[in-house]
Amino acid sequence: MSLLINSPSTAFNFQNFEVCADVPSIHGMLIIEPKIFADDRGWFFESFNENAFFKAVGLNSKFAQDNHSISHYGVLRGLHYQLKHPQGKLVRAVSGSIFNVTVDVRKLSPTYGRWFGIEVSALDRKQLWIPPGVAHGFLVISDGAEVLYKATDFYDPQSEVCLAWNDPTAGVEWPLPEGVLPSISTKDAAGLSWDAIPKF
């Protein structure tokens, strides 16, 4: 495997992946780009390799469940996290494009209170590692999108928290046309303000 980890101070190799370590806005978050093997027949890549991934992330835990969503243009899901059973997530789009957003709600994190947004698409094949304790959501910016993500703990509705997508303190800048509101669930519409959400 050739997994390349780039940060201001370190770079080392595993196989078949390039990983940008510590996204500047969110401590511990990774952007992962798999190596594509293409020829006139099509293409192939490893979407996940347990040994390489856990060496890169530095975790001993395993993934507990996989989730798969389908959404149409303008659907916004989030911003979610679980308080009692925090989930690390490995996120990718297998069709369409999304604007993926993370907000750091870990009080002891050097990036506490910051948000980070990045486009992820089936064409660029990027994957995002989102560490536990970080709120996560996304907006569909193509006609439709399918999103897959692996989670390090099981879904626990009793401890789920939703930070309001448009909270002014979090200040997320969603790529929405002027005057257009996203399509959100009733649950997400009742999301809490930054001051009201419990933090880690």
Catalytic residue among 80, 81, 85, 155: 80
Specify whether 149 is catalytic. yes
Other Cβ atoms less than 10 A from the Cβ of 162: the count is 21
Specify whether 73 is catalytic. no
Q: Which residues of 78-96 are buried (b: 16+ CB within 10 A; e: fewer)?
A: bbbbbbebbbbbbbbbeeb
Catalytic residue among 27, 72, 149, 155: 149
Residue 44 burial class via C-beta count within 10 angstroms: exposed 0-12, middle 13-18, buried 19 and up: exposed
Phi and psi of 160, rounded to 5°? -70, 140
Q: Which residues are catalytic?
A: 80, 149
